[in-house]
Amino acid sequence: MFLTTCIATIMIIISLIMMILATIISKKTFIDREKSSPFECGFDPKSSARIPFSLQFFLIAVIFLIFDVEITLLLPLIISMKITNTLSFIMITTFFLLILLGGLYHEWKQGALNWAY
Summarised one tens digit per residue, pLDDT across range 24-55 is: 888 766 666 666 666 656 666 666 666 677 77
Per-residue pLDDT at 5: 92
* Alpha helices, DSSP H, located in the chain: 2-25, 33-36, 55-83, 86-110
Q: Which residues of 11-36 are buried (b: 16+ CB within 10 A; e: fewer)?
A: eeeeeeeeeeeeeeeeeeeeeeeeee
Per-residue pLDDT at 103: 85
Per-residue pLDDT at 78: 83
The Cα–Cα gap between 65 and 109 comes to: 19
The model scores a pTM over 0.75: no
Name residues of the chain where pLDDT drops below 70.
28-51, 115-117
Q: How far is CA 103 from the centre of its chain?
A: 19
